[in-house]
Amino acid sequence: MTQPPGWYPEQPGSTVLRWWDGAQWTQHTQQKAPRSDASPWEVQVGRGPDPDKIREQTRAAGVGQAGYGGGTLFTEPVLVVNQKVKLIEMANEYAVFDQHGKQIGSVAQVGQNAFKKAVRFFTSYDQFLTHRLEVRDIDHQPVLMLTRPAKVFKSRIIVQRPDGNEIGQIVQDNVFGKIRFSFLVNEQQVGGIQAENWRAWNFSVTDHTGGEVARITKTFEGFAKTMFTTADNYVVQIHRPLREPLASMVVASALTVDTALKQDERGFG
């Protein structure tokens, strides 16, 4: 019996997974993800995206060959952000890939206690509660800590280094119309993000002058997964190398736009 395509350990007990395309082993590898706040009974759909589908996503988003980066979340010109597809979901989890389908990082929701999970499962009120995300590199080491404090109408994301030092904040400017966020560092605006239409499918990311430095484009998993799961997928194209703190703020905004805005419609926010 032929083994179906998927990520499998290189050898029994190995934390390195290699992609089997159904006929042969490929050069694509990734680290086995560490434990997160996800409950053991959450129902995940499929084995996760394969490299060919990642490349299809970049093409669907209108992103051409953007050259090669340094292989990290802060140096690649294209980030492909895929939320894990689950029928039942208690904690958000994302994988981040480069344009060629190689995983370069991940995002995991942390700090979800039993009460918050119950609220999320039975009601939509958890959209008003505090949410925390941990951005990790390919070795599962934290590189950014993102906190969205409890809110009523507008979202605010606090961006911190792993040691707790604050880099800046991503602050929602408005509730109606085309949603806008400002990047604030030491109370000074260094850039922002703006939805390109009222449904907030796509976003333009700018520096302090208003010039576009990156673009976030939503891609779709297909009708069935869109209708029956809460997964969101994005392609982020960063137009040029960015200096700190703008680089971290742009990466943080790309990885939290779903938390800050999209899931409000489905009870997360």
pLDDT tens, 195-223?
887 666 789 999 999 999 999 998 765 43
Residue 157 sits in the same domain as residue 210: yes
Quote the pTM value: 0.74
Query: Do 111 and 149 sit in the same domain of this protein?
Result: yes
- Interior/surface letters 144-172, b for 16+ CB within 10 angstroms, e for the rest: bbbbbeebeeebbbbbbeeeeeebbbbbb
Give me the pLDDT at residue 168, please: 97
β-bridge partners, 9: 17
In this prediction, residue 6 carries a pLDDT of: 73
Considering the domain architecture, whether residues 16 and 89 belong to the same structural domain is answered as: no
Q: How many domains does the chain have?
A: 2
Q: Do residue 3 and residue 102 come from a single domain?
A: no
Q: Is the domain of 191 the same as that of 262? A: yes
Are 101 and 27 found together in one domain?
no
Domain co-membership, 100 together with 153:
yes
Residue 162 belongs to domain spanning? 38-266
Q: What's the DSSP call for residue 86?
A: B
Report pLDDT digits (tens) over 142-154: 999 999 888 778 8
Tens digits of residue pLDDT in 229-251: 344 688 999 999 999 999 999 99
> Mind listing the pLDDT tens digit for each residue in 143-183?
999 998 887 788 899 999 998 899 999 999 988 888 899 99
On whether both 198 and 249 belong to a single domain, the answer is yes
Asked if residue 137 and residue 216 are part of one domain, the reply reads yes
CA distances from 65 to 29, 52, 62, 98, 237 (A): 21, 14, 10, 11, 11
- Residue 231 sits in a domain whose CATH number is 2.40.160.200
Q: State residue 206's pLDDT score.
A: 97
- Using one digit for the tens of pLDDT, what is the confidence trace for 71-123? 899 999 999 998 775 444 446 788 899 998 889 999 988 876 665 555 555 55
Burial of residue 214, with CB atoms counted within 10 A of its CB: 0-12 exposed, 13-18 middle, 19 or more buried? buried
44-56 tens-digit pLDDT:
545 566 788 888 8
Q: Are residues 25 and 43 in the same domain?
A: no
Could you tell me if 199 and 171 lie in one domain?
Answer: yes
